[in-house]
Amino acid sequence: MPTPAYHLLVVSLRTSRIAILFVATIGLFALCPAGPLQAQEANHSPGWVVISVPEYRALRVKAYPTEREPEPPPVDATLTRVDYELRADTDLASGRATLTVDVLKNGWVRVPIPAGLFVREAKLDGKSLSLAPLSDGPSGAKDTSQLSALLSHSGRSVITLEIALPISSSSGEERLSIPSTFSGVTKVVLEIPRAGVDLSLYGGLFSATADLPGGGNKWTAYGKGAEPITFAWRRKTEDHHATLPLRMRGTLTQFVGLGEDSTSLTANVNLEITQGAAKEARIQLPDKVTINQVQGALVADWEMKPGELLITFLEPVEQSASFVVTGEASLPRDGHMDIPLLRLTGTERDSGGVAVDVLGAGEIKEDSVKTQGLERADASDLGESVTNRQSPALIAFRTRPGDSKSQRSLHIAVARYAQQAVLMANIEEARYRVLLTRDGKSLVESRYAVRNNQRNFVKVALPPGATLWSASLSGKPVRPGSAPDGSLLLPLAKSRAGEDASEFALEIVYLRPGASWTDKGRLKLSLPALDLPVSRTGLQVFFPPLFRLSSEPGSFHAESYANPISSVLTASVAEPPVDTPIAPPAGSAGVVGGVMSRQYMSVIAPSDNSNDNKQLSTQSQSLVDKFHSTERGVRATGILPVHVDFPAYGPSVFLVSELTSENQSPSAELNYQQNKKAGGK
C-alpha cells in the first residue's frame, strides 16, 4: 500500500530530529574535555530553527515596517495672490494680471482663471500657456465662461495674463469691477490718464496715490480675494458754492417765562442757507439778557459779546442748521415791562414768533399789550416747543414777514396775586371698627384712605389712656414717631412730582381701658384726632351679645352697613380672618335698637345672599389676592412691629359722619342695656 507524502514528510522530520539529537550528544561528549571555552563556543554554533510561515511573516513585518504613505493635500492647488496692473481707456481697462499658484498635488492639476476676464495671452514662467474651458460637475460639461490652466508639476508657478475689462458708464459715472477670486490677497494698480477725476472704491482699501508724468493719477488698492473690487469715478466738478456771497433765511421762536424771582428765556433757531456757506450765526441780544447755553448738532462754540451772541459751527453749513438758545433776563416781578426779543442778524428774511407765560399766580392784562411788528396768534401755530408749555396765562404772537432790520417790540403789564394755601394732603375716607367688652375695654382699628403730595407725616392724637398696638402703611408695619405733645407721627407716602396723588391705606390699632358695664348705662366713644381733614367717616361698633346698643343723636347717625368707597380700604375689609363674626346666641338674633352689619347677616343666613352680594364677594376676593401679592406678600427687612388683626365678634352698629375738620376728635354717644331674656337663659 503506498504511503502518503505527508506521512513521509513527518517520518523524515522525526528521523532527522533523532539523528540531529544523537550527533549533538556525541559532539558534546567529545568537546567536554576541551574546557569551558569550548563549551561556550558550542552554545553559539550556527544551526537551523524551524518556525511556521505565519510566524515568519509576522517577524518580518516587525523587523522591516512599511512606511506610511502621506495623506493627500485637501486641495490640488491654491491661488495665493493676484496682482492687476490696469490702465483705463474709453470703454476698456487693459493691462496685466499676475496669478501666483501653489500646486500641492503631483500630476496634472487644473487651476481656474478668474471669471469675467478677457484674456488675450497667457504665459507660464515666461512660456506660452494654453487655456481650456473649465469642466462643470461630474457630467463633464464645459463652462465656456470660465477658463482654466493645466499645470503638470508641483510647487509655485506664476501665470501672467494679458487681459482687458469692460468699463460701464451711467449718469456721468464710470465703473470698473474686478471679479472675485479664491486668492488670499488681491492687489490692483489702476491708472486713469485724465486729470480732475474723483475716484471711489468699494470692497477694498486705498494704499497709495501718485500722479502720472503725462497727467492723470495712479491708485493702488488692496482687497479680499473672495469679494469683488469696484472702482467708480467721475469728472471732478468745481464747487463754487462756498465762494458765493452768503444768503440765508431764519426762523426764531422764542418763549419767555415770567417768574416771581427770575425770567427764563428759550429760543429755537432754524437757519436755511440759500447761497454760499455759513461758518457762523449771529443773534442780536437786548439789554439785561444773559445766555446760559447753546445746544445743537452743528454747534462748535458760542461766545456772548455786548449786544450780540456769536455761534460758530463745526464746519461750513451749506443747507440748514438748527440750535436752541437758553438764558435768563432781568425783569420786574409785576407791572409794566418790555419783553426782550432776540433777533437774527445777516438774514434776508426772518420769521417765527414769541410766547409769554406768567409762572405762578398772575396774569397779563389784555388791555396793556402793545406790539410792533407782531400779530396775535394761537400757541399751536408756533410749533411744538410752545405747544407743550400751554397754560391759561400764555399769550402768543407771530412775527410779520420782514428783514432783520424791521422794528419789533412787545410791551405788557403783569398783575400778581397772593397765593392761597391749599390742601397738600387729605383723608378721603376713615373707617373705624370698635370692639367693646363688658369690663369697659375697647379695641379700636382705624383705617384711613389718604392722598398726599407734600406732607411727610400725619399727626394722630389718641384718646387719653390709649395704648398703641400696631401701625401700618400700605399694609407694611411701620414705627410711628412721637411728637412733643405725646401724639403720634405716622409716615405718609408721596406721589411723584407732576403726577396725580393716588390713595394709600394708613392703619393703627390701639387699646383703651374704661369703666365696667352695668345693666344699663351710657358711654362716650372718642376717636383719634388727626391734623388732616376727613371727608367721610364710617364707625362700626361691636358689642357683647347679651346687651343692646343704640346711638344718641350727634355728629354720627345710624345707617345700614356699606362697604368702604375707597378701594384701598375695601381690600382690608374683605380679609376673612378679620371680618368673620360668630352667630349670637338664641334669643338675641338681631339687634334691638341698632343696625346689624351686613357681614353678620351673611353669616347667619348665607343662603339668602343675592347675586349682587356674590359679585361683590368675587370682586373683594380679587382685591384681596392682589393686595396679598403686591403689598402684604413683601417681607420687610429688620425688626418691625407685628400686624394685629381686629377680632370682629358679636353684633354691631354702623354709624356714619361727614366732613371732620383737622385736629378734631370725633365722638359718638351710645346707650347700652342688658337683654333680660338672654340674661335669664
- How does pLDDT run across 178-200, given as a tens digit for each residue? 988 888 889 999 999 888 888 89
**Least confident segment among 63-67, 138-142, 159-163:** 138-142
What CATH code would you report for 77-235? 2.60.40.1730
- 581-594: per-residue pLDDT in tens? 433 433 333 333 33
Please state the rounded mean pLDDT for residues 284-308.
91
63 in Cβ contact with 95 (< 8 Å): no
Q: Where are the alpha helices (DSSP H) in 474-629?
A: 567-573, 598-604, 611-627
pLDDT at 6: 39
Confidence tier at 552 by pLDDT (50, 70, 90): confident
- 373-429: per-residue pLDDT in tens? 888 888 888 888 888 877 878 888 998 877 667 888 899 898 888 776 677 888 889
> Residue 560 CB: number of other CB atoms within 10 A?
10
pLDDT at 611: 59
pLDDT at 111: 87
- Rounded to an integer, what distance in angstroms lies between the CA atom of residue 312 and that of residue 305? 13
- Rounded to an integer, what distance in angstroms lies between the CA atom of residue 131 and that of residue 144? 11
Please state the rounded mean pLDDT for residues 517-525.
88
Q: 127: which strand partners?
A: 124
Confidence tier at 511 by pLDDT (50, 70, 90): very high
Please state the rounded mean pLDDT for residues 160-175.
90
- Rounded to an integer, what distance in angstroms lies between the CA atom of residue 380 and that of residue 290? 27
Q: What percent of the chain has pLDDT over 90?
A: 21
**Least confident segment among 209-218, 606-615, 666-675:** 606-615
pLDDT at 510: 92
pLDDT, averaged across the chain = 80
pLDDT at 606: 40
Q: 302 pLDDT exceeds 60?
A: yes
Find the angle CA(220)-CA(222)-CA(228) to the nearest 5 degrees.
Answer: 115
**Least confident segment among 20-29, 90-99, 454-463, 638-647:** 20-29
pLDDT at 630: 54
Q: 548: which strand partners?
A: 673
pLDDT at 66: 78
Q: 3 pLDDT exceeds 60?
A: no
pLDDT at 616: 64
Q: Which residues contact 70 (CB under 8 A, 6 or more apart)?
A: none
Q: By three-state DSSP, how is residue 281 classified? A: strand
Please state the rounded mean pLDDT for residues 34-54.
64
Q: By three-state DSSP, how is residue 228 classified? A: coil
Q: 85 pLDDT exceeds 90?
A: yes
Q: 627 pLDDT exceeds 70?
A: no
Q: Which fold has domain 247-416?
A: Immunoglobulin-like (2.60.40)
Please state the rounded mean pLDDT for residues 485-504.
79
φ, ψ for residue 178, nearest 5 deg: -90, 120
- 220-254: per-residue pLDDT in tens? 999 887 889 999 988 876 665 667 888 888 989 99
Please state the rounded mean pLDDT for residues 22-42.
48
**Least confident segment among 455-469, 518-532, 611-625:** 611-625
Q: 152 pLDDT exceeds 60?
A: yes
pLDDT at 86: 93
pLDDT at 188: 94
Q: Where are the beta strands (DSSP E) in 213-296?
A: 217-224, 229-235, 247-258, 263-275, 278-284, 289-295
339 in Cβ contact with 408 (< 8 Å): no
Q: 538: which strand partners?
A: 431, 656
Please state the rounded mean pLDDT for residues 571-580.
44
pLDDT at 677: 64
Q: Where are the beta strands (DSSP E) in 437-503?
A: 442-452, 457-461, 467-473, 476-477, 481-482, 488-491
Q: 595 pLDDT exceeds 50?
A: no
More confident residue, 330 or 35: 330
> Residue 222 CB: number of other CB atoms within 10 A?
14
C-alpha cell at 491: 409716615
Q: What are the distances in angstroms from CA 590 to CA 437, 608, 651?
A: 18, 16, 8
- Rounded to an integer, what distance in angstroms lies between the CA atom of residue 399 and that of residue 240? 34
Q: 39 pLDDT exceeds 50?
A: no
pLDDT at 368: 86
Domains 247-416 and 425-676 share a fold: yes
**Structural domain 425-676, CATH architecture:** Sandwich (2.60)
Per-domain boundaries in the chain: 14-63, 77-235, 247-416, 425-676
Nearest C-alpha neighbor of 178 from the set 106, 139, 227: 227
Q: 145 pLDDT exceeds 80?
A: no
pLDDT at 380: 83
Confidence tier at 79 by pLDDT (50, 70, 90): confident
- 303-327: per-residue pLDDT in tens? 998 889 999 999 888 889 999 999 9
pLDDT at 571: 60
- Tell the residue number behind the cell numbers 380679587, with chain if given: 622
| Helix or strand run (H / E) with residue 245 | none
